[in-house]
Amino acid sequence: MDSLAIAPALTAAPPAKLPPWTLQRGREFTEVDASFAAGVALKYLDDLVRTEPSWAGCWRIRQALKCAAAATRLMGREEDEKALRDALLLTASSDDPGPAGRVFFAYKRLATR
């Protein structure tokens, strides 16, 4: 019996290099230049994530954890990323993860599609 042929994994083409017009041209780097460079970097990241690489789901959940940690700090709570992760993962489905755990759960739901 022959084994099924394994289809090659779909990989995104390597991203193109930034065009030369996006780089600084020998003058002093100003706030406007920094803003423009940040915009180019965000566009580059957006293009990369929209190709749906295999690590995108893990990356989204990691970003949700960081956002939840920042939100709980803004709420005046003491939980860090480890405590948030534990609050969600170590509680039973019927138990209440607490206010900080609920914040992480909300961000995690926002990050999934």
pLDDT tens track for 14-73 = 555 666 666 666 667 788 888 888 898 899 888 888 888 888 888 888 999 999 999 999
**Contact assessment for residue 92 and residue 108, using Cβ atoms and an 8 Å cutoff:** no
Q: What integer pLDDT is reported at residue 72 of this predicted model?
A: 92
Q: Of residues 83 and 3, which shows the higher confidence score?
A: 83
The answer as to whether 3 is a domain residue is no
CA atoms of 99 and 68, how far apart (whole Å): 11
For the chain, the residue count is 113
Residues 58, 59, 61, 66: is their CA dihedral positive or negative? positive
Take residue 60 and report the two structure tokens written for it: 């989204």
The answer as to whether 100 is a domain residue is yes
The answer as to whether 104 is a domain residue is yes
Burial of residue 94 (number of CB atoms within 10 Å: 0-12, 13-18, 19+): exposed
Q: Of residues 39 and 10, which shows the higher confidence score?
A: 39
The answer as to whether 61 is a domain residue is yes
